[in-house]
Chain A
Amino acid sequence: MTQSRQIHLVRRPQGAPKVDDFAVVGVETPDAADGQVQLQALYVSVDPYMRPRLDADQALDAPMLGGGIARVVQSRHPDFREGDVIRHAMGMQERFVSDGRGLLKLSPDPDLPLSVYMHALGGTGITAYGGLLEVGALKDGEQVFVSTAAGAVGSVVAQIAKIKGCYVAGSTGSDDKAAWLRDEVGLDAVVNYREQPLAQALREAMPKGIDVYFENVGGDHLDAVLPRMNVRGRIPVCGMISTYNGDRIGVKNLSSMIYSRVRMEGFVATDFPHLNARFQSDMTGWLKDGRIKYQETILDGFERAPEALVGLFEGRNTGKMLVRAAA
């Protein structure tokens, strides 16, 4: 038996989530029984997808759902040894026991920080990699436009496209992010959609049209992009954040899909198990060579997970938001 903590949702948020909507709850974690492991949280992930769940799917007075990285501290399971580092979706628990199902053993590269296995080498990375290369069927040297290019997925997409020799432009909503994209990430053009009408900005940013549009926004972004699509263009649909709170704007430029024979296709990270080995190897190399840059905001202390989550929804993070629970 070990004393540990969990993060619970204790009431449904009224409007924007507040720290008081959550509680840090002390619990006793049992020792690992036969066929079980006990794990200690190293990193806890907070993610945008958690917001709608707070209104419905997330149970009250139960550990917050979510993913993280943990270390095996006791093992009575043949496949795990003490000290193994795993990725899991067991939620916000400082310690927990598991029968091993759903645990993914990691082989962390000693030259990379462990946190990258929660983004560039995790779900974010494979989403970008599979979405761009397989669903987007990217060819070297094509014209690529990425919406929310400074976001977790968008920034990886943009950089993979640059590695593949493409002309890459992206949209973002702040000057700071635009500067990061231009100066650090090396995009060929950046559109600040809060400051410029998108359709006109796209004509300037994508003078040779668009072969692949990586869609994170939907709505007016999609409508502005469609007339710029080149023949046989592809639109991998990763997200449509502008429509999550109600979809008021119709997409008017449907005719462009016919005229340019555009293919638009939705996907999720779990569509690409067949790409995983190649992804791990490519991405590890790119990260170590510094060809993929990333930003992360890490809060120290398991008990700060509610603060991290609220901060994420308020946009106080730069890049991937994480909580470090233990070293």
Chain B
Amino acid sequence: MTRVRTAVRLKARPTGLPGPEHWDVQEEPIAPLAPGEVLVANRYISVSPSLRAQMDAGGAYLPPAAIGDVVRARGVGVVLESRAEGFREGDTVEGPLGSQSHYSGPGEVLSPVDPAFPLPRHLGVLGMTGLTAYFGMLDIAAPKPGETVLVSAAAGAVGSVAGQIARLRGARVIGVAGGPDKCAHVVEALGFDACIDYRSEDVRDRLAELAPEGIDVYFDNVGGPTLEAALLSLRHRARIAVCGFVADYNDIGNLRGARNYLRLLETRSRMEGFSVYDFAGRYPEGRAALAGWLSRGEIAAYEHVEEGLERFPEVLRLLFGGAQVGKLVLKV
């Protein structure tokens, strides 16, 4: 019996916000497994800004997706068939399963995960999202107890975890998020000390009130005007961990760009871009720490689940201005 999968393939490169016209959703047969390969029924797919970055022709640390490719999305699923050592039918695995209903390919890129956790969590706090927050906050930003930490996209997948880790390190944490609901979530559910609503408040003024002596760390997920405001409020020897720039992805041709970089000199601060892939050798350490915090209830995990692979194009758009909190995942 030939198995069939549904795959979302890149049809055209968008110049701004991607839409349905940039994707083909099609059914196709699955080739029989070669030795070393496994077949996985994908359960959840991670929807993250890196998907949008792959749609562009170049520049990213990951090579761009070619036209006609299945986009390299992380996913979690269940093994249906295995010709790879170490994997058996019924195992729960996480890895680059792709924007499709079934993954068939090498088993070596997949990791078995603990099925006791809700499956989407392996794409959120326990996945690349959590690891990005973990290494970015602890290695690049390195807050000390009593320092003031600012996190943008604080209700989002990475920001929500990054801020909670800073709080666990004894820092005072201020979030930036869009809208009163997200801000309430950031303070009440995630335990941030305060949250600035960039839609209704002037970030610079509000930051001056909340942190009159300035900030020691800025965990940047957005770039743009929020970065500009953060630069102005840096204290001496502050650190900016540059994690993302969602504000920029969809408007590359028409960026305004942040000013105030002179503040790096005036405050002798450090600004550093990073990629979670640089910490690949330390994933087990990060996963263990995150799992520990989750199990002890020290970190709250939120996922926003949308359903239906065929809705992939519209769900991707939620990343850029959606109302969801936490990690965005697509249930296959």
Considering only residues 106-129 of chain A, those with a C-beta below 8 Å from chain B are none
B81 in the interface, Cβ–Cβ < 8 Å?
no
Partner of A261, one of B59, B60, B267, B273: B273
Measured in the bound complex, the distance between the Cα atoms of B231 and A266 in whole Å is 12
Interchain CB contact under 8 A, A252 and B255? yes
Measured in the bound complex, the distance between the Cα atoms of B260 and A266 in whole Å is 13
Interchain CB contact under 8 A, B248 and A255? yes
Interchain CB contact under 8 A, B273 and A250? no
List, in ascending order, chain A residues with CB within 8 A of B269's CB: 265-266
Q: Interface code B255-268, partner A: CB below 8 Å = 1, 0 otherwise?
A: 11111111111111
Q: Across the two chains, which residue of chain B brings its CB closest to A242?
A: B262
Interface SS of B by simple majority:
loop
B41 in the interface, Cβ–Cβ < 8 Å?
no
Q: Interface code A18-44, partner B: CB below 8 Å = 1, 0 otherwise?
A: 000000000000000000000000000
Considering only residues 210-228 of chain A, those with a C-beta below 8 Å from chain B are 218, 222-223, 227
Interchain CB contact under 8 A, B264 and A237? yes
Q: Across the two chains, which residue of chain B brings its CB closest to A227?
A: B59
List, in ascending order, chain B residues with CB within 8 A of A260's CB: 61, 273
Q: Interface code B4-20, partner A: CB below 8 Å = 1, 0 otherwise?
A: 00000000000000000
B27 in the interface, Cβ–Cβ < 8 Å?
no
Interchain CB contact under 8 A, A222 and B271? no
List, in ascending order, chain B residues with CB within 8 A of A243's CB: 259, 261-262
Considering only residues 250-274 of chain A, those with a C-beta below 8 Å from chain B are 250-268, 271
List, in ascending order, chain A residues with CB within 8 A of B274's CB: 258, 261
List, in ascending order, chain A residues with CB within 8 A of B263's CB: 266
Partner of A266, one of B61, B255, B264: B264
List, in ascending order, chain A residues with CB within 8 A of B258's CB: 250-251, 254
Interchain CB contact under 8 A, B272 and A264? yes
Q: Across the two chains, which residue of chain B brings its CB closest to A247?
A: B259
List, in ascending order, chain B residues with CB within 8 A of A240's CB: 261-262, 265
Measured in the bound complex, the distance between the Cα atoms of B264 and A252 in whole Å is 17
With A250-B255, A254-B227 as contacts: A265 and B262 at CB distance below 8 Å: no
Interchain CB contact under 8 A, B262 and A271? no
Categorize the interface residue count of chain A.
Answer: 20 to 34
With A243-B259, A265-B269 as contacts: A259 and B59 at CB distance below 8 Å: yes
Partner of A251, one of B61, B261, B268: B261
Q: Which of B157-165, B239-247, B321-329 contacts A (4 or more CB under 8 A)?
A: B239-247
A67 in the interface, Cβ–Cβ < 8 Å?
no
Interchain CB contact under 8 A, A254 and B257? yes
Interchain nearest-CB distance for A254 vs B (Å): 5
A249 in the interface, Cβ–Cβ < 8 Å?
yes
B295 in the interface, Cβ–Cβ < 8 Å?
no
Partner of A265, one of B242, B245, B259, B268: B268
Q: Across the two chains, which residue of chain A brings its CB closest to B266?
A: A266
Interchain nearest-CB distance for B222 vs A (Å): 10
Interchain CB contact under 8 A, B257 and A258? no
List, in ascending order, chain A residues with CB within 8 A of B206's CB: none
A310 in the interface, Cβ–Cβ < 8 Å?
no
Interchain nearest-CB distance for B244 vs A (Å): 7
Interchain nearest-CB distance for A262 vs B (Å): 5
Interchain CB contact under 8 A, A266 and B265? yes
List, in ascending order, chain B residues with CB within 8 A of A86's CB: none
List, in ascending order, chain B residues with CB within 8 A of A227's CB: 59
With A237-B264, A255-B245 as contacts: A263 and B259 at CB distance below 8 Å: no
A325 in the interface, Cβ–Cβ < 8 Å?
no
Q: Which of B261, B266, B271 has the largest number of chain A CB atoms within 10 A?
A: B261
Interchain nearest-CB distance for B230 vs A (Å): 12
List, in ascending order, chain A residues with CB within 8 A of B223's CB: 254
B26 in the interface, Cβ–Cβ < 8 Å?
no
Interchain nearest-CB distance for A138 vs B (Å): 17
Interchain nearest-CB distance for B186 vs A (Å): 23
Interchain nearest-CB distance for B231 vs A (Å): 10
Considering only residues 43-76 of chain A, those with a C-beta below 8 Å from chain B are none
B278 in the interface, Cβ–Cβ < 8 Å?
yes
Interchain CB contact under 8 A, B259 and A250? yes
Interchain CB contact under 8 A, B259 and A258? no
Interchain CB contact under 8 A, A222 and B272? no
With A250-B259, A258-B245 as contacts: A264 and B264 at CB distance below 8 Å: yes
Measured in the bound complex, the distance between the Cα atoms of B144 and A153 in whole Å is 34
List, in ascending order, chain B residues with CB within 8 A of A218's CB: 261-262
Interchain CB contact under 8 A, A263 and B271? yes
A278 in the interface, Cβ–Cβ < 8 Å?
no
Partner of B268, one of A256, A263, A271: A271
Considering only residues 80-133 of chain A, those with a C-beta below 8 Å from chain B are none
Interchain CB contact under 8 A, B268 and A247? no
With A261-B272, A263-B272 as contacts: A251 and B257 at CB distance below 8 Å: yes
Interchain CB contact under 8 A, A261 and B270? no
List, in ascending order, chain A residues with CB within 8 A of B260's CB: 247
Interchain nearest-CB distance for A136 vs B (Å): 12
Interchain CB contact under 8 A, B265 and A239? yes
Measured in the bound complex, the distance between the Cα atoms of B267 and A268 in whole Å is 10
Q: Across the two chains, which residue of chain A brings its CB closest to B259?
A: A247
Interchain CB contact under 8 A, A259 and B268? no
Nearest first, the 8 closest Cβ-Cβ pairs linking A and B are: A250-B257, A257-B273, A266-B265, A252-B257, A258-B273, A266-B264, A265-B270, A252-B255
Q: List 11 A-B residue pairs with CB atoms under 8 Å apart, sorted by A's residue number.
A: A231-B61, A237-B264, A252-B255, A254-B227, A255-B248, A262-B272, A263-B271, A264-B264, A264-B271, A265-B270, A268-B268
Further contacts, 17 of them, CB under 8 A, given A218-B262, A247-B259, A262-B273: A237-B264, A240-B262, A243-B259, A243-B261, A250-B255, A250-B257, A250-B259, A252-B256, A254-B257, A254-B258, A258-B242, A258-B245, A259-B61, A261-B272, A263-B270, A265-B264, A267-B265
